[in-house]
Structure 1
Amino acid sequence: MLDPITAFFQRVFAAIGRGLGLLVAWIAWPFMAAHGWYRDRSWIIRAPIILLLLLLVVCYGWFFWRTQVWYGFDTNMVAKYDFAARPVAAGEAVPGAANTCQNSAIVTVAADLTDMTVNQNAWISSTLLYKLGFFGVDWDHTPFFDNKASFQRGVMQVVRRVSNEAADNLGRVRGTSGINSDLQDARGNMQFDEGTWYFGLDPFGFKTPTPSYYRASINSWRKFNSDLETCKSVFDARADNLIQLLDRLGSDLGNTSDILRRRSEEFNSGWFDTRADDRFWFSYGQLYAQYAILTAARADFRDVVDQRKLGTVWDQMDNQLKGALRVQPAIISNGAEDGWLMPTHLATMGFYVLRVRSNLVDLKNVLDR
């Protein structure tokens, strides 16, 4: 009775074995052919090939290390600042200290986020091997080596937004005084293209790479804070400036939520969606940076927060941000929302993005009353 069944499974496994054998042979054939050609060549030809292969191994090993090892990444990075211990809001005179004003927590965090992104880590988007892609295919269109780059772009999107607000509103008295030159320089440097290497084709020639501009912005922010500490510059911690900052950050999250929604609805291919990981890690980087910036904003605008009794709503937002940052799957899946096999990490991240945006809207509405 069991002989036909046994024979059937034997034929199935034999067919699978033949298929795997053909696949391995197909993959190995170019290497075997290259080996045969290489074996018959002289050392004048063989030596440069060996050196080239060694160079590729070293370069891609270094590329693997730079993209997979993350320095300075800490979901509770705000704890080290102890912003709650600050005696006064940003720009106000520090009690008991002559000619000393409180520096800006927002500017401090913006500088530190940038430092983590381009100094403690390599800025991946403008490195040569990342720009070359995987045999000509953009790394963002593969499931490999793009998570860190997407995270960095999410972080810098928030820092870029803050640089605009600092130059246009926060570093001026009611928008009537001149723009602070340091904040203006920081904003200009943060607008630079994300993917510029030392050499480019459009236009053709040598260039200053992207990280150099971002590093210059760090110096400008720290110069501004140094001047603020000696009361030589201003920080206008008014309610309407906080409203504007919250509104801009909320708008950015709205755009991200729409990107996550469309990707989740139109490309729910589970673990086989090669763009799901960079969508996820961009939004993760955005929330990571917003958590730090918003914690700093609470310290800079402490008088406004206390007067308008925003503490409870702000605590709710902090909890949502902390919850989002705990979602760190090893492999990003973009499955169907009612699927039972492959999870839907994009929908999960989209939920947190919308919750944080809703909290920002609540804060803005309270301030608008």
Structure 2
Amino acid sequence: MLDPIVNFITRIFQWIGRGIGFLVGIVLWPFMWVGRWYGQRGLILKAVVGAILAIIVVMYGYFFYVTQFWTGFNPDYPASLAQARESTGAGDPVTPDAISATVAGEPEPTCKPSAIAGTSADLIDFNVNQNAWISSMVLSKLGLFGIEWRNTPFFDNKAAFQLGINQVMRRTTTELVDTLGRVRGTSQIDQNLQNARTNLAWSETAWYIGWRGPTRPTPSVYREAITNLRNFNTSLERCQATFDARADNLMQFLDRIAGDIGSTSDILRQRIEVSDAGWFDLRADDRFWFAYGQLYAYYGILVATRSDFAAIIAERNLTALWTRMEGQLRASLNVQPWIISNGNESSAFFPSHLATMGFNLLQVRSNIVELRSVLDR
């Protein structure tokens, strides 16, 4: 009685095995053909081809290493800045009576540097010096057999994280140039900040050769932005630059940050609506890590903002609200799933990490809007 059923199940597994074997054969056929071709060549050609293959293997090995191992990643990186909080704001005199150096017998004034500029320089350093900049690497541009890495489940998480940080750096340097680093209407743009903004506007995927010929790779241009920001802080310490720590400037900066975070939360929402493939959504991971990179960078920038606008925050009684916002920002960085899932929000088996990240973004945005409304009273 059971023989027909057993035979049917056996045939099903045989068909499945043949199908898998057929697919494996299709995948391995090019490699087998190359192997046969290689075995029939002369010694010199074998050596040349072997050297090229060895270089490719080494390049992919390095690419695997730099995409999987993150150097200097620490969600608590602003802790030292938070512990060294002062009541003075950026650009304010800090040692008006101390003589650090003398010029013609007169004391040289010393002012407080900008924590926003310093933190931005550190984050760019983290992106391009402590780690390799993934997006401009030639293997990142080649993808997987011509398929962009972001359309595969491999090698794109760190790149998306770095791009999220870079988005924040571009926003921050723009605000430093337009409002924070000058007295609007009465002072010229600081050249160091202008150069930093220009350098960070460079293409995120530039390699040594582009469509128009030789060009500068992205990391080398971003390294110049680090120098520009630190030069600005050096000038500010010497009281030779401006940081306009006014309440309306802080309010505008918070508006820009809230808008940036809101835009990213909308990107996550669109992805959630387009797909609920759970663990198999190949675009969910880069969306998640881009948003995570933004939160990672804004955590440091907002801690730095509290330092630069210390007098305004104390005057407007924003300390408790700001502390709560920082705590929620830090808590959101604890969400670090090994595999990103974009499942239906009511699913019992496929979590929705994008929904969780979107909630964290909107929570932070809500706190920023509340701070802004208090400033506007």
- Same structural fold, with TM-score higher than 0.5 when normalized by the shorter chain: yes
Partners of 2:12 and 2:278 lie apart in 1 by 28
Task: Name 2:32's counterpart in structure 1.
Answer: 32
Match of 1:191 among 195, 201, 223: 201
Query: Residues 232 and 241 of structure 2 are in contact (CA less than 8 Å); yes or no, is this contact kept in structure 1?
Result: yes
Residues 84-108 of structure 1: CA deviation (Å, up to 9, x unaligned): 4435211111145351111111111
The amino acid across from 2:26 in the alignment is W
- Greater shift in the superposed pair: 177-186 or 239-248: 177-186
Change (3 A) 1:263 1:21: same
Q: Is the 8 A contact 2:86 2:310 kept in 1?
A: no
State how 1:1-369 maps to structure 2 within 5 Å: 6-95=6-95, 97-98=98-99, 99-201=109-211, 204-369=212-377
Tell whether the 8 Å contact from 1:100 to 1:230 is kept in structure 2 after alignment: yes
Given that 1:104 and 1:235 are in contact with CA atoms closer than 8 Å, whether structure 2 keeps it comes out as: yes
SS in 1 for 2:343: coil
1-side partners of 2:117 and 2:263: how far apart?
A: 24
For 2:36 and 2:131, the matched residues in 1 are separated by: 42
Structure 2: give runs of 5+ residues left out of the alignment.
100-108
Contact 2:87 2:311 in 1 (8 A): no
CA distance in 1, matches of 2:19, 2:357: 40
Q: Is the 8 A contact 1:317 1:360 kept in 2?
A: yes
Partners in 1 of 2:311 and 2:300 — Cα distance? 19
Equivalent position amino acid for 1:64 in 2: F
Counterpart residue identity of residue 322, structure 2: W
Deviation of the 1:355 alpha carbon: 0.6
Q: List 4+ stretches of structure 1 deviating above 4 A.
A: 1-9
* Partner secondary structure for residue 77 of structure 1: coil
Greater mean deviation of Cα atoms: 36-45 or 254-263: 36-45
Letter in 1 for 2:118: T
Larger deviation, residues 81-90 vs 270-279? 81-90
- In structure 2, what is the Cα distance between the partners aligned to 1:40 and 1:162? 59
SS at match of 1:155: helix
TM-score normalised over the length of structure 2: 0.92
Whether the 8 Å contact between 2:87 and 2:310 is mirrored in structure 1 is no
Q: Could you report, residue by residue, the CA deviation over 1:302-328 in whole angstroms, capped at 9, with x for unpaired residues?
A: 111111111222122112211211111
Distance (whole Å) between structure 1 residues aligned to residue 30 and residue 203 of structure 2: 39
How far off is 1:27 after superposition? 2.7
Residue identity opposite 1:265 in structure 2 = E
Q: How far apart, in 2, do the equivalents of 1:304 and 1:218 lie?
A: 28
Shift of 1:8: 4.9
CA contact (8 A) 1:168 1:175 kept: no
- Quote the offset at 1:194 in angstroms: 1.0
Please give the per-residue CA displacement for 1:238-276, whole angstroms capped at 9, x wherever unaligned.
111100110001000111011000001112211221111
Measured in 2, the distance between the counterparts of 1:290 and 1:83 equals 18
Q: Give how far 1:232 is off.
A: 1.2
Is the Cα contact below 8 Å between 2:81 and 2:303 reproduced in 1?
no
**SS at structure 2 position matched to 1:120:** coil
C-alpha distance after superposition, 1:178-206 (max 9, x if no partner) = 111111111111111111111111xx211
5+ residue gaps, structure 1, are none
Q: Partners of 1:85 and 1:315 in 2: how far apart?
A: 12
